[in-house]
Amino acid sequence: MKFLFFVCVPIMLFSQTYMAKIEPFDNFIIYAQTNGQIVYLDKNDETKVVDKTIVKLDDSLEQKELAGYKMQLRLYEEKLKLLNKNYQKYLQVAGKSAFEKDEKYYQILDLKVTIENLKIEIAKLEDTIAKKHISVRNLYIKQFKTNNGDYVTAGTQLADAYDISSARAVVFVSRSDYENIENKKILIDGKQESATIYKIDKIQDETMISAYRVELLLQRDDFGKIVEVEFISS
pLDDT (average), residues 101-111: 89
pLDDT for res 81 = 95
- Indicate if the pLDDT at residue 36 is higher than 50: yes
- Indicate if the pLDDT at residue 13 is higher than 50: no
17-58+133-233: in CATH 2.30.30.60: no
CB atoms inside a 10 Å sphere around CB 167: 21
pLDDT for res 1 = 44
- Indicate if the pLDDT at residue 80 is higher than 90: yes
**Cα–Cα dist 185/182, whole Å:** 8
- Indicate if the pLDDT at residue 210 is higher than 90: no
pLDDT for res 4 = 40
pTM for this entry: 0.79
High-pLDDT (> 90) share of the chain, %: 77
> For the chain, which residues make up each domain, given as ranges?
17-58+133-233, 60-131
pLDDT (average), residues 97-108: 85
Using H for helix, E for strand and C for coil, what is the string for the chain? CCCCCCCCCCCCCCCCEEEEECEEEEEEEEECCCCEEEEEECHHHCCEEEEEEEEEECCHHHHHHHHHHHHHHHHHHHHHHHHHHHHHHHHCCCCCCHHHHHHHHHHHHHHHHHHHHHHHHHHHHHHHHHHCEEEEEEEEEEEECCCCCCEECCCCEEEEEEEEEEEEEEEEECHHHHCCHHHEEEEECCEECCCEEEEECCCCCCCCCCCEEEEEEECCCCCCCEEEEEEEEC
